Structure 1
Amino acid sequence: MSRTYLRMALIFGLIWVGTAEPGHALFGLGDSDKKELAASATITLQQAVDKAVGNVPGTVVEAELEKHDGRVVYEIEIIDEQGKECEVLIDAKTGETLKIKRD
């Protein structure tokens, strides 16, 4: 399965989960919280995923828009080419890679 197909499946899955039912809390946030986070993000989920995979080649298995240490970030989990799980934090405003955590 190609990386592009997996990325698109992830994006559509996140959209579907977010619209599954009224009041559903995508990413564990209420509607107003997730709208606030989304409004403050200047880069897209796809741009964040591309940046993360550029830093850690592998397969994206999860992506979330969250707040960490007062910053709005995309938290992207990747299974790297050695089969290890990695978490990459991308600043949702600047696109800067903030952290790469390898398990």
Structure 2
Amino acid sequence: MADALSLPSELTLRQASGALLRLLAAISTLAPSVPVRIQAQGMQVFDSSALAVLLECRRAALASGRAFAVAGLPSALRGLAALYGVDTLLTDADGHAAPAG
């Protein structure tokens, strides 16, 4: 996924504010026609705060008229997204809902 923004390896409540500020700043520097693509593959330690960060990035992307996609969600985070009913909001690079399996 070219030009993807990356989530940190650890994203819990403790890191959420800083990570969100960094990602929103990066999103704001993208050209208006560039979709927001977030790479989550390197995440190793996370909690539901990671979902909040992703959903806020999605909101910012859509508010600015950009497409939003996330790739490499760890299966446990996909499971949390499904549990909270937000899995369909976190699409993969092809625009499909990230599978919870």
Common topology (TM > 0.5): no
Greater RCO, CA 8 A, separation 6+: 2
Q: Larger Rg: 1 or 2? A: 1
Greater helix content: 2
Structure 2 length as normaliser, TM-score? 0.29
Q: Give the number of the structure whose residues are more often strand, by fraction.
A: 1
| TM-score (normalised: structure 1) | 0.29
